[in-house]
Amino acid sequence: METVERKLHSFTAVFEPAPEGGYVVYVPALPGCATQGETFEEAQANAKDAIEGYLKAMNDLNEDITFESESTIISRIPAAV
């Protein structure tokens, strides 16, 4: 039996409260990778599934995957309107 080694990667996911309740989630490093959930926990689980599905599709299509840098800095920037 052949052993397949899988490497674990982490991605930043942005969780935004939805006006109707729950959360909308998107992954900035993976264009078009988005999902939602009725609770934060459900949104987290759905985000993991969405990311893994996205990566599998990219692999199946032999497309290059751009992985997020481990030194990515996330910051909120205030701006006057």
* Interval 43-62 mean pLDDT: 96
What is the pLDDT averaged over residues 28-37? 95
Q: Cα separation of 19 and 3, whole Å?
A: 46
Question: At which residue do the structure tokens 């989630």 appear?
Answer: 25
HSE on the CB side for 17, CA within 13 Å? 2
What is the reported pLDDT for 67? 86
The pTM score is 0.82
